[in-house]
Structure 1
């Protein structure tokens, strides 16, 4: 894991770049934050955020020199096309960012998906991201936001846990990280994993410095409670690096991510156009079929006064019965009866 953004320390130098190895002797950590920058805890004591002035526990090499990110010449940046600039940023940040996101989620597929979605958003807003003072930080923040979204729990694929790491200590550490609140977990990964300072961690998590210190202190206490050997922040840092490096997490190729982002942008653009056309068509149809003048509603029926209700026929009188019997006796007689005559 390493921080890929051009953040500067308090002394104006760039922080050290994290290595991808499993040992703690490749690079120095970023510049330390002095005690004057740490706010006091509510009880009046200093929060449990250690100083970073001392070197790592095992430092390789005869001299403890700070490794800085190589700067590109001023004229070289203008010679690159947008696609080449994006591919360079992706190749530089994506491998470590996938490992960082894995520590946040514990899911390999979600880690790759979060990084790819973050870079797709960056490609869609590339003019804005390219002018940002910290493009790597912009992408990292977008990836963390997508990875920690609470809506993932509603997806059927994410209802079943993924296989844990094979090592017992790695499983315990990963389980401890996943049981932390998302805000605590993010602050711990940024500060102890990526190596950001307290102001940068607070700014990226959108919290105050005091709240960030308290989150770090509680997160470290939770980790040290289950793994006492990780109470030292330097040991915790290298264990996070080893845990993220043990998994074979590979990011997609930059052209694949760019083309997927372009397809996604085209899809949503066409969907927005189709929705707008449907809305305009329904509005036009409503205007065409709607009445253009006021038509009063038909009033409900009322009872008419003065008309007697219809009466059902009653029993026949004596004369009516005699007439009925006479008609029944002579149905075919009489001159008024027409019968067909044979020829």
Structure 2
């Protein structure tokens, strides 16, 4: 018996984007699919995945919304004579990393163009090369044996090479962003490294995500803002603040904001994400994200009135992030750490399983095979005379014994054997 493959679904962020593009609320989409609003919210946040008939209905509805969005964006065709349409080029995926990437120009700091299918397969078009000289072409045609060398096909990237490329491009920027989120340099570096280690463990899923940097960024932010960080000994010792008084005031203002407001402000005004993308990454509704952003801007403008303009705030955040000299580990080190962590967890799971099996076997070996009633505890009985050692008979006892001997007993006399 074979099981039919599940209906493919777009990533959680794409599901939410399609719904908001069609101007549908979660309640309206839930009514069309036949589920509750909380179920749709869990689907769009990636916490759960639909199955069975609900998955088919949800996928069909998303395909319909995608077709409607494509039809709205389509332009009317020209009325000129029809010409053969060129082959469509592979659609690139633009991964936003903000304005704080290191070792890149200003244009390259805004996006990273990767193939639509995955990160580990690059399919660039053939290199046109220099323009051919007509005279040289004539000379080549004159010689029948001289043929131009075919263009070599580009080799596909291995998973390790694709991971290293993603890490080298986005890790410095993510460390600076996480520093603005936490105000701690070592925690920012550790959070980004841990997020990339988790990404390497789930690399097939991350490589095919539409926004791999967003996937890693969300993991790094979640680790950095975890409430368990406050129980670490390192958290009790404050790190030295920035040297510039203005940078110090801005960083203290950011750290006074609630973590959800701080994260929303950083994603929208710092990284430059849109409001729907910010809401999807913070797992909140769009109105709630807008309210958080407004409250965060008001709090910052209250202490620093010169940062009331979002453009000025964006520039100041970029300057504050670039003043700190934050270093990230090399990609092979991160990959080796992820593999070492996976091996330790695997060995721990194997050891726990072996210990559980041994404990179970020992219990089965030593356990009784039948019921044995418990022995009741002893009780003290009162009123019983103590035992006395034998001694001489009293006069009354002697008289009683003699009387018993003298009286005739009922019944036949005892027969005594005699020798004949």
- TM-score, normalised to structure 1, is 0.71
| TM-aligned CA deviation for residue 127 of structure 1 | 1.1
1:308 is the counterpart of 2:385: yes
The DSSP-based 3-state class of the residue aligned with 2:276 is helix
Report the CA distance shift for 1:195/1:208 in structure 2 as closer, same or farther (over 3 A).
same
Residues 16 and 27 in structure 1, CA contact (< 8 A), matched pair in contact too: no
| TM-aligned CA deviation for residue 213 of structure 1 | 0.7
1:98 is the counterpart of 2:98: no
Q: Could you tell me which of 265, 274, 281 is aligned with 1:204?
A: 281
Q: Could you tell me which of 285, 302, 307 is aligned with 1:225?
A: 302
Q: Could you tell me which of 312, 316, 326 is aligned with 1:249?
A: 326
The DSSP-based 3-state class of the residue aligned with 1:132 is coil
Residues 107 and 162 in structure 1, CA contact (< 8 A), matched pair in contact too: yes
Report the CA distance shift for 1:149/1:126 in structure 2 as closer, same or farther (over 3 A).
same
Matched with 1:279 is 356
Deviation string 1:116-168 (CA, Å, 9 cap, x unpaired) is: 00000010111111121211111010000001011111111111110000010
1:214 is the counterpart of 2:291: yes
Deviation string 1:76-127 (CA, Å, 9 cap, x unpaired) is: 5981101001001111110100000001010000000000000000101111
What does residue range 1-343 of structure 1 map to in structure 2 within 5 Å?
18-20=98-100, 26=106, 69-71=112-114, 74-75=122-123, 79-304=156-381, 307-309=384-386
> Structure 1 runs of 4+ off > 2 angstroms?
5-8, 10-22, 25-29, 67-78, 302-307
| TM-aligned CA deviation for residue 18 of structure 1 | 4.1
| TM-aligned CA deviation for residue 306 of structure 1 | 6.2
Q: Which has the higher contact order (CA 8 A, sep 6+)?
A: 1
| TM-aligned CA deviation for residue 75 of structure 1 | 2.3
The DSSP-based 3-state class of the residue aligned with 1:161 is coil
The DSSP-based 3-state class of the residue aligned with 2:365 is helix
Report the CA distance shift for 1:294/1:28 in structure 2 as closer, same or farther (over 3 A).
closer
Unaligned runs of 5+ in 2: 1-12, 22-72, 75-92, 116-120, 125-153, 389-420
Matched with 2:87 is none
Report the CA distance shift for 1:16/1:295 in structure 2 as closer, same or farther (over 3 A).
closer
When the two chains are superposed, the root-mean-square deviation of aligned CA atoms in Å is 3.1
